[in-house]
Structure 1
């Protein structure tokens, strides 16, 4: 049973008044049978529901009943959208707001729902950052949050990958995105809308200038488009490789998902020992060489020739190093 769905059902009835079971099911994306079960749980929790039969009937709350979600500050109201991500809330400087908002929510819920919400919170935890790396420091993130929410232009000093490494930018931040534990700010400049890694913002200050975000700007759609474009720009070539059975099993732990999918889609048997040959996408020869070397003797680069030569040269250098006497 989802405590979140029960709360959504309660707020739906409070906002809409009388709603038929089918309408509730469509709104919450569940079956009518699930709706009836949830309505029963609400009644068991002490929520006064009234069923009106007939073609124009439905379920509604008894007149005068409302949930007691009062006393929330503006910051706590924002924090509700991050209630399931305490780490993200802490990054954004909203940890205290999240804690306070949760206490007020629990106090506002009927007893049965309060216990169920507490049980849910006790068994669910979100840890966004990936393995094998330290969390990225983002000291300017709270200021960027302020700029996004209050639509204020921000002056930043930014470190990028190409020369000149450090540049000054005047940004109109449209939104923030958390991707695999890394924060990004989507912002407009005089050159158009661009994406900046928040951890690479070396210094930032709010200006007195405000801006209007375009009404038709959709952060989620923009980010999806950005990711698709990034992937298209990321892989500029292909390589043919051979993998042993062990190499193929190890591949998901040592290569990007796009590479794993490419192997699954193009693999053909080679020889009698279970090896396969496949075509994979590559960013560059040095990058592909480094990635494939993770698999050691369980992979062979067949083509292009420059990748095979790079693998051969690296293997020869490794052999020379390890052949040295003490």
Structure 2
């Protein structure tokens, strides 16, 4: 464990530059006293590492020093090849760069790790978008990515769902997120940080001025909070539904994860016919009608009354249409 931590200290300083003992301790989840001991050990091993006191102090490697030691374990080497996203990388214009980086990494690995990493590429492939959906056109994705990287403001013409549909926005781009094959831009507009779908950007002009990214802004944490808020806004009511055994099985293929989880947690039964009673969140009567119709005869809506009436009216109209034909 200690040898691995010493390598981690060395690589952190090599990749991030100056870091304080507290920053290193937080990153490695150890005490500051442990970092002091580790730094002394690196000194004793001949690593050109020095430290400065004061508010802006910290530890730093001598300029130009780089180690060839990576400390990669077999599992770590494999994970690097499993974590690649070839589709999104290509959309960003980095497909060739990712391929070249993987080739260089493969060449640098010891033979035994090289063989295991190669097997990962042969046996696993990640295809992020969902079924029955083509990739969205993302004309301005490279320009957006460049603005994110260089902290440069942009002026965009954006199409949104509510009126007026086309709006002009001056944005400070903080980060990009790819979700189910769709790209989203997290950016500040005025005093608020908002999320924009990159495919809905109709025009984009980079502006000459730059901005300062807020210190401590955590893109992953923002996205988690955004998804939680989106889910809570989306679901305004609940429905009581009876599901056949086949309906329970098909639920995971046809419904969103939130609905599936709620159904499993609330499941009551099965009854004498083998059907299970569940309580699930719904977005609206119209939306829920379409969702439950996908289950066909494997679902019966019991409540709310308005949704049951809508299901009856829709299925009745369908029955009349097919009977007439």
- The answer, yes or no, to whether TM exceeds 0.5 is yes
Measured in 2, the distance between the counterparts of 1:160 and 1:140 equals 16
**Given the superposition, is the C-alpha separation of residues 231 and 120 from structure 1 closer, same or farther in structure 2, using an over 3 Å criterion?**
same
Question: Is residue 195 of structure 2 the alignment partner of residue 184 of structure 1?
Answer: no
Give per-residue Cα distances to partners, 1:278-322, cap 9 Å, x unaligned.
211010000000000001111111111110111011001101110
Question: Is residue 232 of structure 2 the alignment partner of residue 232 of structure 1?
Answer: yes
* Kept in 1: contact 2:285–2:306 (CA 8 A): yes
Equivalent residue number for residue 68 of structure 2: 67
**Given the superposition, is the C-alpha separation of residues 83 and 267 from structure 1 closer, same or farther in structure 2, using an over 3 Å criterion?**
closer
Give 1:251 shift.
Answer: 1.2
Matched residues, number: 272
Measured in 2, the distance between the counterparts of 1:305 and 1:202 equals 43
**Given the superposition, is the C-alpha separation of residues 99 and 316 from structure 1 closer, same or farther in structure 2, using an over 3 Å criterion?**
same
Unaligned 5+ segments in structure 2 are 14-26, 30-39, 48-64, 71-79
* Kept in 1: contact 2:247–2:298 (CA 8 A): yes
**Given the superposition, is the C-alpha separation of residues 148 and 65 from structure 1 closer, same or farther in structure 2, using an over 3 Å criterion?**
closer
- Root-mean-square deviation (CA, aligned residues, Å) is 3.1
Give per-residue Cα distances to partners, 1:213-270, cap 9 Å, x unaligned.
1002111111111111111111011111111222112111111121122222222237
* Kept in 2: contact 1:67–1:108 (CA 8 A): no
Question: Is residue 118 of structure 2 the alignment partner of residue 118 of structure 1?
Answer: yes
Give per-residue Cα distances to partners, 1:99-118, cap 9 Å, x unaligned.
22223223333444334333
Unaligned 5+ segments in structure 1 are 1-7, 18-25, 29-55, 70-79
Measured in 2, the distance between the counterparts of 1:118 and 1:237 equals 49
**Given the superposition, is the C-alpha separation of residues 93 and 81 from structure 1 closer, same or farther in structure 2, using an over 3 Å criterion?**
farther
TM-score (norm 2): 0.75
**Given the superposition, is the C-alpha separation of residues 65 and 246 from structure 1 closer, same or farther in structure 2, using an over 3 Å criterion?**
closer
**Given the superposition, is the C-alpha separation of residues 65 and 211 from structure 1 closer, same or farther in structure 2, using an over 3 Å criterion?**
closer
TM-score (norm 1): 0.75
Q: Comparing 223-232 with 117-126, which one deviates more in the overlay?
A: 117-126
Question: Is residue 136 of structure 2 the alignment partner of residue 136 of structure 1?
Answer: yes
Measured in 2, the distance between the counterparts of 1:225 and 1:264 equals 24
* Kept in 2: contact 1:235–1:281 (CA 8 A): yes
Question: Is residue 221 of structure 2 the alignment partner of residue 221 of structure 1?
Answer: yes
Question: Is residue 195 of structure 2 the alignment partner of residue 195 of structure 1?
Answer: yes
Equivalent residue number for residue 161 of structure 1: 161
